[in-house]
Structure 1
Amino acid sequence: MIQITPQIFIHEDEIEESFIRSSGPGGQNVNKVETAVQLRFKAKESPNLPHAVYNRLVRIAGQKMTKEGVLILTASEFRSQDRNRKAALERLVSLIREATVVPKYRRPTKPTYSSKQKRMEKKTQRGAIKKNRGRVSRSDY
């Protein structure tokens, strides 16, 4: 069991790991050893993930989430398979934790009467300044 929050747990059976060849540094090893990890988590089918958390996870994950509700994460930062596994798992846990945070409801507000008055006064002052600009005539000398 992988603990996400005190209420949300994910069973190891819900996560599929496959190993692929990694690009980047690795010397002669890079063409022989499959060190990159591709982690698949079927978020839509997970019984331990609440529906509201799933919906936020879809929005947060973006292109990492397929239409079928499968979250695909690839980790290839490290040269070892084990470190890449841990990195992918940490990324999954952090994404789900981020999805558990309920966004704060924004209550729409209206500007106060005094703020409207101040705005109108500033506009008239600015308009008066602009009105005084212009061509200089002979009578102004």
Structure 2
Amino acid sequence: MHTLLEKIRLKALDSCLRFTSSRSSGPGGQNVNKVNSRVSLHFELEACPLLEEPEKAFLAKKLSKILDQKGVLHLHAQEKRSQLENKQVCIKKFYALLRKVSTPKPIRKATKPAKGAIEKRLQDKKQHAQKKQWRQERWD
């Protein structure tokens, strides 16, 4: 069985995608008013049989801000003049989003502050103290 990243790399989730088309507001001159070149991609997370339950739960958590109430992800493309090109753009956006979400962030390795950074912090601290001291002086 493939992991989520392998499924993304193999583009195995294509069968779970649903597409609709509508009128675009992009380039195309007079033709833009007659042709449905805008493509919307719909990915119903819970209905996809290729994903296992832990993968669905992981994606639902990571994509929670962009999923609608029914758990459907909607992506749109209208940059190109043809429907086919916009469909390909939608698919690229979809897999790029999944790749970004499923790639773990590297763990930050703790390091000592640089000598210059320490000196700058102490210098700023000293200047701040002098400024406060100057404000405390009495002008009798």
Pair 1:93–1:36, CA change in 2 (3 A): same
Query: Match for residue 103 of structure 2?
Result: 101
CA contact (8 A) 2:26 2:80 kept: no
How far residue 130 of structure 1 moved from its aligned partner, in angstroms, is 3.6
| Residue-by-residue CA offset, 1:93-114 (whole Å, 9 max, x unaligned) | 001111112345679xxxxxxx
Distance 1:101 1:76 in 2: 28
How far residue 44 of structure 1 moved from its aligned partner, in angstroms, is 3.0
Pair 1:68–1:104, CA change in 2 (3 A): farther
Query: Match for residue 55 of structure 1?
Result: 61
Q: Which runs of 5+ in 2 are unaligned?
A: 110-120
Give 1:29's aligned amino acid.
N
Give 2:80's aligned amino acid.
F
User: Which structure is higher in RCO with an 8 Å CA cutoff and minimum separation 6?
Assistant: 2
How far residue 31 of structure 1 moved from its aligned partner, in angstroms, is 0.8
How far residue 67 of structure 1 moved from its aligned partner, in angstroms, is 1.4
Q: CA RMSD in A?
A: 3.7
Pair 1:71–1:128, CA change in 2 (3 A): closer
Query: Match for residue 15 of structure 1?
Result: 17
Query: Match for residue 68 of structure 1?
Result: 70
How far residue 129 of structure 1 moved from its aligned partner, in angstroms, is 5.8
| Bigger Rg, structure 1 or 2 | 1
Tell me the secondary structure at the aligned position of residue 41 of structure 2. strand
CA contact (8 A) 2:19 2:42 kept: yes
| Paired residues for 1:69-88 under 5 Å | 69-88=71-90
Give 2:58's aligned amino acid.
A
What is the aligned counterpart of 1:39 among 38, 41, 54?
A: 41
Q: Report how many aligned residue pairs link the two structures.
A: 125
Query: Match for residue 113 of structure 1?
Result: none
| Residue-by-residue CA offset, 1:32-83 (whole Å, 9 max, x unaligned) | 1100101000123334260223311x14xx34x2011100001000111111
Distance 1:78 1:31 in 2: 15
Distance 1:54 1:30 in 2: 36
Runs of 4+ in 1 over 2 A off after TM superposition: 7-13, 44-47, 102-107, 122-137
Query: Match for residue 116 of structure 1?
Result: none
- Give me the identity figure in percent: 31
